[in-house]
Amino acid sequence: MHNRWFVRGALTLALADILLIALGVRAGFPKLMVWLPAVGGPVLAVAAFRGAAALTEGALRTFWRRVSYGMGAVAAAAVSQTVDVGTTEYSGMPPIGARTLLLYVIGTILAISAMLRLPGGGRSWRQLTTAVLDVAVVAVAAGIASSQYVGWFIDRFGVTASAWWLNIAMMAIAVAGVVVVVKIMAASRSPVPRAALWWLAPVGLCGPLSTVLMSVLSPWPHLNGSAAVLPFVGLFGVLAARAQVRHLGVLPRSRRAAASRRGTAIPLVATGLTSLLLVTVFVRTGHLTVVQVGGTTLLLLLVVARQAVALAENAALLDTVANQAMHDDLTGLANRRFFADAVAGARTVVLIDLKEFRALNDGLGPDVGDALLVAYGARLSALARSADERAVVARLGGDEFGVLLSAEPDAGQGDFAGRLLAAADEPLQAAGHEVLVDVFVGVAEGDFADLYRRAELALRAAVASGGRLVRYDASLERRLSRRATIAADLRRALTAGEFHMLYQPIVELPHGRMVAVESLIRWTRSDGTVVPPADFVPVAEDTGLIVELGAWIIDTVCAQAAAWRRAHGPDALRSVAVNVSARQLLDPGLPDLVAAALARHGVPASQLTVEITETAVFGGGRALATVTALSELGVAIALDDFGTGHSSLGLLRTCPVDAIKVDKSFVDGLGGTPQQEAIVTALTGIAETMGLRTVAEGVETAAQARRLYELGYRHAQGFLFARPLPAGEIDAMLDRLHLAA
């Protein structure tokens, strides 16, 4: 806010100065009046510089402090010149004492020192050569202009000692302006914003301009050339400080942009102004001096050399940009664009996706994630070059990589995918961490125009199936086409009512009495075609429709549980189980949805069991929070297919589990060796100790049922007792149980 007031004050003083000069050529007034804005302008600039220094730090703060010292000397010189004018009678050139000239020179030297000590940053040799030539062009142009200025000064003010001292002071101020311009051209990464430097540049013109105005205003003794320019010195200084303050918090331009826009116009403008000056001199005098002719020749040679170097620099820059456009910034590998263009010459396309990279990146941090990508890119390059020296290795985006192999399969690349999988067993070094990274791999081989698309299909199939390696074949295309068809039909099927629920009994051992049921969704199209759950459930999860489908399942199961309670009593079934996917657990609204369904149908929460997989909650986070919220509703939680996912006994402590369902693969080992029965035996002991119910899944023989009972299992489920049944058949079984009781 204070910076804005500085600008308004400096602008007011500059306008007042113009008004005083306009009035002074028509009427006289006290000669000290014009010095009020002349002193006020530099004083405001000093205050603005100090304010900019207070808001910055490091090299910026040092720079603005140094510039404020220089402007402070100029302000003191203005006060000193005011005293000279007020205490001396004069006609012609206004008096300027030695003290005043010394203060102007000191201020100029301090300003030049601040500029020269401002860091400028590094650059390439071409950029440095261009900058040197730019400086030379400006210096020669300034020299030609100075020679003309000196000649005019001598003709007008003579060669007295005071005139020479005045000329030295004014030339020093002009040099300060040239130094600012040179600094702007030479600095590739100056901490001071360019706008601030450009506002400081015109200050250098104010010195010579003041002597010109001295001559122009000499008929009016109450006016003064120095007083006429000093308010503008202050205004330019205040505007420079304002540019610095406004720049704070703004991201700097890219180095490349700064280099390319560094100002090819500066030497051209300097050359153009010099040419205009020489034309004016020639028109007025009819000749040019030796200095002017020689300087002009040198100037033209410098401009030609500068443009030649600039063209070479631009060509190198274009090569760099073209290279960067085809390569990944992080790893230095080829990027997707280059990869897609190079596929035409490949015999084999291999696409790789890093397993669980997002979890690693979130857990270890983005710096480690970036280091891991670089390390894997180096590993992949080494493997690919060993298989094919002409191999193209690319990072296609995120954690996806690609390899193009051009040699025939029997020339060494046939086992490339196998070596790629084997390498995943070796840890990578990433920012001080040893990380094991497994991969999904999709491979397409042959002489086909669409190898890239085929490899993408193979990779997609590998990710979807959880397998490590998938090679493209025609059956894959058919499966993916079927998957796409299922995805397109899912929502229509839900709207059309093509889904229905089956219920598989859970029995109590040893007598086999039904005590609970597990609900299972089925899809039968209107034409009678049955779509297996293994086909449509993963697609529903991938498309996100599982959330809407899951809401329908929960409502349908709660409605059916309420119907059984009304028909057979509240104790007919202890529990009705419903499966909930990992994607549903990421929905924070799931607990409210379950609570609403239970309340709508009048089913107590204790009669509903939510079955989840270990993998869904292994990582904790939002999924585990959702399970905890469901448990707090009073809903029972069961771990389904226990032992086949990310099995961890610690999960039984952190997750609010009420029951574990032992997977069929362990039940199949019953009756074999002790090693085969070990897990089933151990689980029942752990569950009993922790107060958990156990349910053995996939029981198909009476021998398995007997052995489970001997091991302590009291609940089982499987084809031995019943296959999944419609709700009506569960009703019939409940009726028979009631009659038997």
Written as six digits, the tokens of 225 are 């050339």
Owner of token pair 């009495």? 513
Please state, in angstroms and rounded to a whole number, the distance separating the CA atoms of residues 387 and 381. 10
Please state, in angstroms and rounded to a whole number, the distance separating the CA atoms of residues 594 and 626. 11
- Give the CA angle between residues 52, 56, 57 to the nearest 5°: 140
Written as six digits, the tokens of 414 are 């046939």
Task: Give exposure, 247-284, as e/b (b: 16+ Cβ within 10 Å).
Answer: beeeeeeeeeebbeebebebbeebbeebeebbeebeee
Please state, in angstroms and rounded to a whole number, the distance separating the CA atoms of residues 435 and 625. 28
Distance of CA 330 to the CA centre of its chain: 13
Instruction: Give kind and range of the element (H or E) at residue 638.
Output: strand 636-642
Is residue 616 exposed (0-12), middle (13-18) or buried (19+ Cβ within 10 Å)?
buried
Characterise 543 by phi-psi region: left (phi > 0), alpha (psi -120 to 50), beta (else): alpha
Please state, in angstroms and rounded to a whole number, the distance separating the CA atoms of residues 434 and 473. 36
- Name the active-site residue from 445, 518, 541, 697: 697
- Give the CA angle between residues 479, 480, 485 to the nearest 5°: 100
HEC states along 172-185? HHHHHHHHHHHHHH
Owner of token pair 């001997």? 710
- Whether 377 and 393 have beta carbons less than 8 Å apart is answered as yes
Closest listed residue to residue 289, CA positions, set 154, 145, 135 = 145
Closest listed residue to residue 111, CA positions, set 61, 59, 74 = 74
Is position 697 annotated as part of the catalytic site?
Answer: yes
Closest listed residue to residue 59, CA positions, set 109, 113, 112, 118 = 118
Please state, in angstroms and rounded to a whole number, the distance separating the CA atoms of residues 319 and 311. 12
Please state, in angstroms and rounded to a whole number, the distance separating the CA atoms of residues 485 and 323. 41
- Whether 426 and 434 have beta carbons less than 8 Å apart is answered as no
Written as six digits, the tokens of 467 are 């397998």
Give, rounded to a whole angstrom, the gap between the first and last alpha carbons of the chain.
Answer: 88
Tell whether the torsion through CA atoms of 647, 651, 652 and 653 is positive or negative: positive
Please state, in angstroms and rounded to a whole number, the distance separating the CA atoms of residues 383 and 84. 84
Question: How far, in Å, are 109, 239, 456, 570, 738 from residue 252 at the CA level?
Answer: 29, 19, 40, 71, 81
Instruction: Give kind and range of the element (H or E) at residue 355.
Output: none
Question: How far, in Å, are 38, 75, 78, 109 from residue 231 at the CA level?
Answer: 5, 10, 10, 20
Dihedral pair phi/psi, residue 368, rounded to 5°: -65, -40
Which residues sit opposite 469 in a β-bridge?
441
Written as six digits, the tokens of 440 are 């999904």
Q: To 10 degrees, what angle do helices 98-116 and 203-216 make? A: 150
Written as six digits, the tokens of 158 are 């003579």
Please state, in angstroms and rounded to a whole number, the distance separating the CA atoms of residues 51 and 68. 10
The residues assigned a catalytic role are: 697
